[in-house]
């Protein structure tokens, strides 16, 4: 299940054409600059502090791999729980632009979650505590706690997965 809020495009063009009416362009530029810079910063404490500046709720001891990309339009809709790992080149989106509408949805990544490299997490999903998402997965629905998922789209591989 995904929890998204649906917004209608204000005119006849596709919804992305109107992005400046949804969010302040200067804020998006600031968010983009900080989030893009964080893709290259290996220092986790500094990186997490910068993520907090743009509104991402980052827990304690979170490790975000190099080249990870968070939503630049609505980073305040993203929460990452304590002691979680987000793998290399992962994308976390809290919005989606469609033709006649655009959607936003909170993304909640629980505590002790492991997200493998090159994963995409889309708007409106929740990943439960101690879940594992394999590399190269598309998370387009909720993941239960202590569950191992993977694939495109992500499917359950094992329930009650133990993370060591």
- Which CATH number characterizes residue 141's domain? 2.160.10.10
Binned at pLDDT 50, 70 and 90, residue 159 comes out as confident
Mean pLDDT of the chain: 96
| Residue 140 resides in a domain | yes
Give the rounded percent of residues in the chain with a pLDDT score beyond 70.
Answer: 97
Q: Which domain holds residue 142?
A: 5-159
Residue/partner pairs of 71-75 with CB below 8 Å, 24 or more apart: 71/95, 71/107, 71/123, 72/28, 72/31, 72/32, 72/35, 73/19, 73/22, 73/23, 73/28, 73/31, 74/23, 74/104, 75/31, 75/35, 75/51
| Domains contained in the chain, number | 1
| Residue 164 resides in a domain | no
pTM: 0.94
| Residue 88 resides in a domain | yes
Q: pLDDT by residue (tens digit) across 96-116? A: 999 999 999 999 999 999 999
State mean pLDDT over 116-145: 98
């Amino acid at each position: 299940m995904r929890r998204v809020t649906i917004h209608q495009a204000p005119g006849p063009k596709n919804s992305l054409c109107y992005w400046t009416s949804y969010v302040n362009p200067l804020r998006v530029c600031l968010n983009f600059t900080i989030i893009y810079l964080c893709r290259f910063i290996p220092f986790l404490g500094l990186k997490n502090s910068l993520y907090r500046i743009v509104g991402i709720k980052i827990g304690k001891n979170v490790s975000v791999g190099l080249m990870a990309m968070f939503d630049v339009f609505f980073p305040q809709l993203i929460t990452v729980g304590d002691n979680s790992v987000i793998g290399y080149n992962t994308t976390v989106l809290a919005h989606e632009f469609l033709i006649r509408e655009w959607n936003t949805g909170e993304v909640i990544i629980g505590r002790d979650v492991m997200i493998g490299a090159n994963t995409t997490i889309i708007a409106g999903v929740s990943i439960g505590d101690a879940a594992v998402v394999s590399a190269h997965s598309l998370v387009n629905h909720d993941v239960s706690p202590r569950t191992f998922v993977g694939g495109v789209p992500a499917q359950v591989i094992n329930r009650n997965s133990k993370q060591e």
